[in-house]
A = this chain, B = another copy of it.
Amino acid sequence: MVVAREREPEGMDLVHLLREVTLQLDLAGGEFATRNGLHPTDLRALIALLDAARAGEELTAGRLGARLGLNSAGTTALVDRLERLGHLRRVRDTRDRRRVLLVVDPRAVALGQSFFGPLIARTLALLDTFDPGERAAIRRFLTGVRDATAGTQEPEGAEKT
């Protein structure tokens, strides 16, 4: 078959490629997660935590849950799991004692490295083969897609839970 497939518009191949990339990353993440005794969500949480740490940002339980699209109950369960595994510690915020700050453990960092390390190395090697102009194009493309995707959801302030 495959017949005439009514001509997809120019650029469609890139759209499909992008989808494939996200699928691959998801699968890789899921596989890595189960191999390490956690769930896809836990890995996503770790990534968010490491990200926040890298940005020097204090992450609370609530903010983490919001970032992952969990409600408060699910968030508590998630933090329980990660704490039980030793990937983070709960620390009461002294400024606002309702809040619980999440402090990542070095072991979580190491775990993140072991997953992303090889992937990042390969990607950086790949990026070395592009000249600055090309990298700028890639950057602009990714930025655009990210913003377009974020914009597909609610215009703003998604307050629920």
Contacts and interface: CB of A to CB of B under 8 A. Distances in A.
Given A123-B148, A134-B137, A2 B56 contact: yes
Nearest to A125: B148
Contacts of A130: 137, 140-141
Contact of A137 (B3, B44, B55, B138): B138
Number of copies: 2
A73 interface: no
Interface residues of A, number: 63
A145 to B, nearest CB: 5
A91 interface: no
A26 B5 CA distance: 28
Chain A contact residues: over half helix, strand or loop, or mixed? helix
Contacts of A54: 5
A9 to B, nearest CB: 6
Contact of A17 (B27, B28, B53, B142): B142
Closest A-B pairs by Cβ, 4 of them: A1-B56, A134-B137, A11-B127, A122-B148
